[in-house]
Amino acid sequence: MGIKRKWVSSGVLVAGMVAAVLLPISARPVGLQSGGDEPVPAYHTQVPAGELPQPMDPAEFANPVVKNSYALAAKVKKVLYQQPCYCHCDRSVGHSSLLDCFTSKHGSGCNICMAETLYSYEQTKKGKTPAQIREGIQKGEWRQIDAAKYETYPAKP
C-alpha cells in the first residue's frame, strides 16, 4: 500500500510540474513568475574568454515564434549567457544560463525561455547592457513581450 501511495504522489508531483511549465505565463501564480521572493536562477556575470556554444538552427523548427527565438538567440548569445532563466531549468536540467535553453530543443517548448530571449534581444537593440537586461528579467519585465511581432519568420522587430 505504501509503494502505491508513493507512485501516486510522484505522479501528481510530476503532473503539477509539467502543468506549471505548460501554463501560459499570465495564468501562472505569482510564485511561479519572476519578480517574487524566489532565488534568482543560475547565470554568469561576464562572457568567457573562449567560444560560446551555438544555438540550434532555427530551420529545425516549424513554429515561427520558435524559429525567431532561436535565430535571435544566436544574435545575442553573449547576452543570453549572462541571463537567468525563470523556468528554473538550472534546477531541473542543470542549465547555467538562458543560452543553454537554445543549444538544445528545451527553449522550443518553453514560453518563459522564448519570452526572456525576445526581451533580451529587444533590450539589446535599445542599447541596454547585459546587467540592465538581467535586472529587467528579474523584475519580470519579459512578461510584457508581444509575441505577435514574431509570428512571421524572419521577424522584423
Given this model, what pLDDT does residue 117 score?
97
Average pLDDT over residues 94-108: 94
Instruction: Using only the alpha carbons of the chain, give its radius of gyration.
Output: 16
Average pLDDT over residues 53-78: 97
pLDDT digits (tens, 9 = 90+) for 107-130: 999 999 999 999 999 999 999 999
Given this model, what pLDDT does residue 36 score?
54
Share of the chain above pLDDT 70, in %: 76
Residue with cell 501511495: 5
Domain ranges of the chain: 2-150
Given this model, what pLDDT does residue 17 score?
43
CA distance 139 to 147: 19
Q: Does the pLDDT value for residue 72 go beyond 90?
A: yes
CA distance 79 to 117: 9
| Average pLDDT over all residues of the chain | 83
